[in-house]
Homo-oligomer: A and B are copies of this chain.
Amino acid sequence: MSALPPVLDRLDRDLDKSLERLFKLLRIKSISTDPAYAEECRKAAEWLVADLKTIGFEASVRDTPGHPMVVAHHDGPTPGARHVLFYGHYDVQPVDPLELWEDDPFDPAVKEREGMKVITGRGSSDDKGQLMLFVEACRAWKAEHGSLPCRITLLFEGEEESGSPSLKPFLDANKDELKAEFALVCDTDMWNPETPSICTSLRGLVGEEVTIKAANRDLHSGMYGGPAANPVRILAKILAAIHDDEARVTIPGFYDGVEETPSQVLQAWEKLGETAESFLGPIGLSQPAGEKGRSVLEMVWARPTAEFNGIYGGYTGKGFKTVIAAEASAKVSFRLVHKQNPEKIRAAFREFVEKRIPADCSVEFHPHGGSPAIQLSYDSPFLAKAKDALTDEWGSPAVMLGGGGSIPVVGDFRTYLGMESLLVGFALSDDRIHSPNEKYDLRSFHKGQRSWARILAALAN
């Protein structure tokens, strides 16, 4: 452990330099979901490779049918050293609606917000900021000791925000190169700004885009209103039928594989003190909209959902147009828990919709990603080490949480590489990821680097 203090000191000293590097990465508009930004995604990958080479990684941009991967390798201090894979993603969410941003989403800065120094910009938290924590920990370690404490493989993805279409084939094709003893993933939250956290479960995700087609063209609602099928009306009826009055999903078979959470786990979550008021208050809401009789933490960590992420049809511009649209679409996603099977859910949803399409209308589906939920094994030999390292850095005990969002890579690591993942993240719930005005606390950026340095030291032993 004597190797650690100078590394931590260096991270303290070099904080401004690490910020400059992060800003360079944040300025690259690597929005993966919009094809218009494909070149920016590649630019981000190339920037990372160049940076990793300066630390001594053998790093390369690896093409995929979509946006490229970054893969990098560094030997451990000895031939038999512990081998870990660190995963992050360099792509970011779209920034619309742009008019709601207080700062340019791609011109990062450190600003004072509610008494805290924060890094502003799209990706500052999700996931460029978190990804760079580990890179900076490696850089400091290398600078101080000329080596890293573990053998390290890095995998940075560029399609995490658009369903990771290339990830599975890439893992499958590069098993031997990527397999390590276990994976470290930095894409999650702390419980609160004082409490470091390890995430032990994550919901899965199935995305579907559904388009209902009625007449062969847009119609004048005066000339055709009444007799002509209106796809917006059909779509609204279908979406409205997906939840019952208790907010349960009505799609047949939807709850297959969902387990009741053990009461001791529910009790531990209860102790965290989260209430409907504390959870919903900051976002301006007060009434839990999920299944009746469940706590908000259970809703997010252990219950599946059906969400409508987007809907559009007919005239959506300013003013009014008395039109009956030829088609209407919705983007629908399902958060999955436990043993729910993504492809069975997808099929059940499609059948549910198809049954409700009038005989003279039609429906088209477009899949967007699919991944099962994951549950970290409590027996992992590395969990305790990471927990201790985090507790040392933050001065308060690390807690084990569930996660509501999906990190498909964790399931894919299990499936393709036979690896479990340790999910440690330093984001905060008010980071506004996926929203306008995304930020990352400067404190997370600083102590996150130190945390990874400590975890690497602990894992080396």
Residues of A at the B interface (CB closer than 8 Å) are 32-35, 93-94, 96, 100, 161-163, 189, 203, 205, 207, 209, 214-230, 232-233, 235-237, 239-241, 243, 276, 279-280, 283-291, 296, 299-300, 303, 305, 307-325, 328-331, 333, 335, 358-361, 368-369, 403-406, 429, 432-437
Contacts and interface: CB of A to CB of B under 8 A. Distances in A.
A311 B285 contact: no
A403 B315 contact: no
A308 B325 CA distance: 9
Contact of A224 (B162, B219, B283, B287): B283
A233 B229 contact: no
A224 B404 contact: yes
Given A240-B239, A285-B360, A289-B229, A435 B309 contact: no
A230 B312 contact: no
B284 A318 contact: no
A411 to B, nearest CB: 14
B207 A322 contact: yes
Contacts of A360: 280, 284-287
Contacts of A312: 311-313, 316
Contacts of A331: 314-316, 320-321
Copies in the complex: 2
Given A232-B311, A311-B312, A34 B322 contact: no
A215 B283 contact: yes
Contacts of A228: 280, 283, 285, 289
Given A239-B236, A280-B360, A285-B360, A226 B305 contact: yes
B284 A368 contact: no
B237 A284 contact: no
Contacts of A316: 310-312, 316, 329, 331
A434 B239 CA distance: 28
A237 B306 CA distance: 14
Contact of A309 (B285, B309, B320): B320
Contacts of A33: 317-321
Contact of A223 (B34, B218, B303, B405): B405
11 contacts: A33-B321, A218-B434, A226-B300, A226-B335, A228-B289, A230-B289, A232-B310, A308-B313, A310-B313, A312-B312, A320-B331
Given A34-B319, A189-B223, A227-B290, 12 more contacts: A32-B319, A162-B320, A221-B335, A222-B335, A224-B404, A236-B308, A309-B321, A310-B316, A310-B325, A321-B331, A322-B434, A323-B435
Contact of A299 (B35, B221, B226, B285): B226
Contacts of A303: 226
A421 B37 CA distance: 56
Contacts of A239: 232-233, 236, 240
B324 A309 contact: yes
Given A240-B241, A320-B333, A223 B436 contact: no
Contacts of A333: 221, 225, 320, 322
A404 B324 CA distance: 13
Nearest to A433: B220
B321 A310 contact: yes
A305 B225 contact: yes
A289 B358 contact: yes
A221 B309 contact: yes
A299 B405 contact: no
A300 B436 contact: no
A227 B299 contact: yes
B307 A435 contact: no
B287 A229 contact: yes
Given A241-B240, A285-B214, A322-B333, A309 B299 contact: no
B222 A405 contact: yes
Contacts of A429: 223
A215 B307 contact: no
A441 B117 CA distance: 68
Contacts of A241: 240
A359 B287 contact: yes
A77 B416 CA distance: 91
